[in-house]
Amino acid sequence: MADEGSAKRWGIGLAAAGLAVVVGYRVLGRDDGASGRGAAADGVAAAVDSAAQSPLGPAPGASGAGGSEPGAPGPGAAGLSAPIAAAHVAGGEVVVAALDVSARGIRVQRIGADDRIVADRVVLDDVAWSTDADLKLAAHAEVVAVTWRGLRGGKLVRELVVVGADLAAKEPPVEVAAASCATRDALWFSDGARATSRPFRGAPHAVELPKDRDSSLLCGPGRAFAVLDEDDGTSILPLAAAGPSDAAASKVVTLLRERDFGDDEQRELAEYTVGDDVGVVRLGGSGAVTIREIAAGVLGPLRRLKATIPKDDDVVAVDASPKVLAIVYSEDVSAACPAGPGGPGDGAVATKVMVLRVDRESFEESTAELAPGRCGYEIGPFFTGALGGALSVAWAERSGGAGRARAPIAGLAHAVVARAGAPSLARVEQRADALVDAGCDGARCYAAALVRRDEADALSPGFVRILRYE
C-alpha cells in the first residue's frame, strides 16, 4: 500500500484499560495519483465551532506552528477515550474520531496544521465502550466517513455515518458489513458474498463475489479489489466501480498457484498496491520470499528473491512506492538484555527491526537494519506510507510498568527506506494510551496520540495530539 498520501492501513492502538485494540483506516492521498491502499484527499473544510475550540500544543519532537503549551483542552472541550481513528487531509490538517464517554457519543474533530481544533461535533450518539469496540475513519475532499463497531442503543452494531464539511451528518447512520477499505471516491464493504461500494457521491453499487472462496478487500486510490484465497492459490478480482461497462473489465487474475512452490508451504502472504497496480509477497516455510505484481492489468513474472527471512522472525509490514518494495520483519533479541530475577530468559524484551528492500526498477535486493532493539520496550503496530520515491516505516514503542499511573506507549519510532543507503532511525517521544496512523502526504507523515491530561490516570478522558514526522 504505497501512496505519498498513503491509503487504507490499519492502525492499532493499545488502550491502557483492558488493553483494548483500536483499529482505524484512512483514505488519504496525493494529487499526482501515486500508489496506496487508499486515495487522494484534497482536504476537508469545516466551519469553526467556537464552543469546542481548544488549543493543543505540539508534542515534543513533533512539528507544528502555533498552538498553546500542551495540556488539557480548555473550558467546554470534550474529553476523549479509546478507540480512536485518524486521517490526514490537505494543508497538514488531521481529522480524528474518538469515543466521548461523557457525551455517550463518537466525537469527530478537525485539527489544523497549528495543532488547534478548528471543528468539533458528536456524529453518533447513545454509544458505549466495550472491549471489542473499534473505529474507522475515511476523509475525502468534502466529507468524512466514520464507521463504529460497538454498542449503540444497548445493541452491538457496525454503523457508518457520513458527515459534511461542517461535520454535520449528511444522512442517518446505516448498518454496513465487516470487511472494508476505501478509494478516493468510495467506501467498499463486503459480507463475503458481495462487495458493495458506497460512493461519496451517488448511489451504492454491489458486485457479486465468486462462491466457495474466502475473500478480503484491497483498495488503491482509484480502484478496489477482492483478494480471493483458495487452498491452491491466490487471485485478484478488480471490482466494478459503477455499472456494466466497468464490470466487463473485471476478470479474476491468478497471482499465485501453490503447486508452483512444491513442499514449501505458505507461511505468510501480504498484498500491497502501487497506484492501482497490485502486488503480493509470499513467505514460505523455508524463509523463501516470492513477489508478483499486476501492472496496468498485465500479470508480471513470478520473482523469487535471493534473500530469505529466518523462520523465527515475523513479517510486520509490507508496502511499496513507485521505486522500492519494503518487507519489514522483526527479530527477538531479548537474550542480549540483562537477566531478570528468574535468570536468563526472564529479563526485559527487545526486538530488532529489519527491512528487505527490492528496487522496483532493477529488482536488486538489499537488507538493512531499521532498529537494533531497545531492552524493556515492546513494539507495534507498524505504519507505512510513501515519501516521494521512498517509504516511511514507523511503529509504536511501549515500555513496561505502565498502567493507571503511566501511559503504556512511550512514543513513535520511524525510519525512511530508500532503494539504497542506510536508513536513519528517529523517535518522537510521546506518552499515550493509544496511537493510530493518519497517513503520509508525500512530504511528511502523521499519527494521532491519545494523551492523558496532567496527572490523570488511565480511567480519565484525555485529548488527541498530532505527531508529524518525516
pLDDT in tens, 310-354: 999 999 999 999 999 999 999 999 999 988 665 555 668 999 999
**What's the predicted TM-score (pTM) here?**
0.83
Each residue of 198-226: pLDDT tens digit?
988 888 999 999 988 899 999 998 999 99
Instruction: Report how far residue 19's alpha carbon sits from residue 131's, in angstroms, rounded to the nearest whole number.
Output: 8
User: Bridge-partner residues for 196, per DSSP?
Assistant: 189, 206
pLDDT band (50, 70, 90) for residue 242? low
Contact (CB, 8 A) for 428 and 448: no
Instruction: Report how far residue 234's alpha carbon sits from residue 252's, in angstroms, rounded to the nearest whole number.
Output: 10
Burial of 107 (0-12, 13-18, 19+ CB in 10 A): buried
Interacting residues of 456 by C-beta distance below 8 A, sequence separation 6+: 462
Chain-centre distance for alpha carbon 166: 25
pLDDT, residue 392, reads 98
Please name the amino acid found at residue 25: Y
Closest of 81, 83, 80 to residue 22, by C-alpha: 83
Segments of 112-154 assigned E as strands: 117-125, 127-128, 134-139, 144-152
Within 182-337, residue ranges assigned H as helices are: 244-247
Return the residue matching grid coordinates 507495534.
380
Please give the domain boundaries of the chain with CATH numbers for all domains.
11-469 (2.130.10)
Query: Can you say whether the dihedral through the CA atoms of 169, 170, 173, 176 is positive or negative?
Result: negative
Instruction: Report how far residue 202's alpha carbon sits from residue 186's, in angstroms, rounded to the nearest whole number.
Output: 9
Contact (CB, 8 A) for 124 and 115: no
Instruction: Report how far residue 40's alpha carbon sits from residue 28's, in angstroms, rounded to the nearest whole number.
Output: 5
Each residue of 135-191: pLDDT tens digit?
999 987 788 999 999 999 999 999 999 998 789 999 999 999 988 899 988 999 999
